[in-house]
A and B are shown apart, each in its own frame.
Chain A
Amino acid sequence: MMNKAVELKQGQNQLFSDPDADKAREFFRNKSRAMVNKVTTVDDAVKRLVKDGDYIAIGGFGANRIPTAVLHEICRQGKKNLAFAGHTATHDMQILVGGECIDRLDIAYVIGLEARGLSPNARRAVESGKIKLTEWTNATLSWRLKAAAMGLSYLPARNIMGTDTFRYSAAKEILCPFTGQKFAAFPALYPDFAAIHVHECDVYGNAHVFGSTVSDQDLAKASKRVVITTERIISNDEIRRQPTTTFIPFWCVDAVVEVPYGSYPGNMPYEYFSDEEHIRQWLKIERDPEEFRKFFKNQILDTKNFYEYLELNGGIARMLKLRAIEHLTHNR
């Protein structure tokens, strides 16, 4: 027990989303839970489900199991003033910054591409002062999503207290009503929109994911509007044959799009490895803002859809090579 008055601190930066659980319930009260065919196109899903100014979050882990086609389409449709959950945001962040779509950023991990180095363009954007920044951590963003998935307004945890990461967050310290222990309270994060890439799902959005799942189950539950892109659509019989494997259930999902190789140039576990050459090309071209603008236009803005982009980068032959790398049958 604490025997002296404890000063409870709070982070000084902005909270970009409303953690109110009752407001979330009001939204979810009206969200369709009908098990209907939700298959559509990327173009239509982004048009219907993403609005300028939305708070968006992306499934997977930066360049692993990411919904690339949706990210491209958000840029193509010129969505603006988005807030973004930078929850190990790597290639996904490169794309959204390339499209100049973001003006608010919850940072756990941004501008880096892990062992590959830093993204010069994302770095310029974050250093420019034009994007509002609030600090968090990977666990913190996970738990903020978990709080929302539970229908709460916050969760307590034991990390980040005493650091500048806390100081520049929007977290608050609280005391446990049972033990008096000091905790950091993390506000629930209810994104307006989430896009998640999965291995397989049925036309209703019942989805299977294989491998590490990062925060995607909570993300699907926490988000108001969800599009699933999938390597392949499977029958509802397949889902019902093994219900314990259902990772995301239909009622979380607003739209389903079949996008084979949909995580390219990212890694899709058990399917294909990341295209390290292509990602290196991005990192190199980003050094020169003018060259990068041309590259981005050519690769994303001027391609009609994701398949044109795949064709531009080696098409099926390249995909087969990445499959071989993933399955350790290709000697790199």
Chain B
Amino acid sequence: MADYNAMELMICVAARNLENGATVVVGTGAPCAAAMLSQKTHSPNLTIMFEAGGVAPILPSMPISVGDSRTFHKAVLASSMPDIMETCQRGMVDYTFLGGAQIDMYGNINSTMIGTNHAKPKVRFPGSGGANDLASLCWRTMVMTPQDSKRFTDKIDFITSPGYLSGGNSRYEAGLPKGTGPYRIITNMAIMGFDDTSKRMKVLNINPGYNRTDIQDNCGFELLWADRITETEPPHEDELRILREEVDPHRYIIGR
């Protein structure tokens, strides 16, 4: 079996979830690496999009900003923020990736603040940026994140970007487009989906080297478990080679 680190595993798993012919809006870092890896393995016809306007670039290297010139290098389209977001709103964008300081059992994400006073937060983060928009409007949202019981919390300080809100049908009753929502949460320990009815986070696969106790102990809320749980398929040799040699040769992301 190949040697790999948690970030490499998460990127490989995320890449496998992006099918050929799909559209995905990515940010800088791991999501961009996952989309590039997917393109170079099983999804050559995956369309990578950036929220500032870049569509289907031939990425010469990892962008440092979702609006820098790399994001539309030899692209098919260099358009605008409203154009990308309206394409999401029309239902043409399949996937997006988000991250945050906190995530709850319904996949709601906090990237705004820690504390209880919005006007004077204990810790302030950048805010939504395009995250809420993409989580609201793309069909499927994925998250790649290290897992611990602080980040996976039952007391989220601020819902920046919508998951399934308070579960059940609440996301759609709030007015968000039908059929959208969190799809996969990919951590160093496991891969989670969401229960069809309650919309609570549910473990689907356990990563090699971890067990149920590890996963529940590193989660601040009670996880659901799929009826049949299999071990996550570890990164293949060819995935790792392409990731290390072609996608992130300077180890900006996989070296973290």
Contact = CB atoms under 8 A, between A and B. Distances in A.
Contacts of A277: none
A201 interface: no
B79 interface: yes
A162 B175 contact: yes
Interface residues of B, number: 58
Contacts of B118: 13, 133, 135, 168
Nearest to A127: B124
Interface in A209-224: 210-218
Interface in A262-305: 267, 269-270, 273-274, 276
A215 B82 contact: yes
Task: Please classify how large the interface on chain A is, using the bins under 10, 10 to 19, 20 to 34, 35 or more.
Answer: 35 or more
Interface stretch (A33-41, A57-65, A76-84, A225-233): A57-65
B85 A142 contact: yes
A126 interface: yes
What is the interface of chain B mostly: helix, strand, loop, or mixed?
Answer: loop
B174 A137 contact: no
B13 to A, nearest CB: 21
A56 to B, nearest CB: 18
Contacts of A193: none
Nearest to A173: B175
A74 interface: no
A212 B126 contact: no
Contact of A139 (B64, B66, B133, B162): B133
A111 interface: yes
B89 A135 contact: no
Interface string B119-137: 1111111111111110011
Given A213-B78, A213-B80, A159 B120 contact: no
Contacts of B79: 212-213
B28 A115 contact: yes
A139 B82 contact: yes
Contacts of A140: 133
A184 B136 CA distance: 12
Contacts of B136: 158-161
25 contacts: A64-B68, A88-B67, A108-B128, A112-B125, A133-B118, A138-B81, A139-B130, A143-B85, A158-B137, A159-B132, A160-B162, A161-B136, A161-B174, A161-B175, A161-B176, A162-B176, A163-B132, A163-B159, A163-B165, A165-B159, A212-B52, A267-B65, A267-B68, A269-B69, A326-B69
Given A269-B72, A276-B64, 4 more contacts: A88-B67, A111-B126, A132-B119, A214-B80
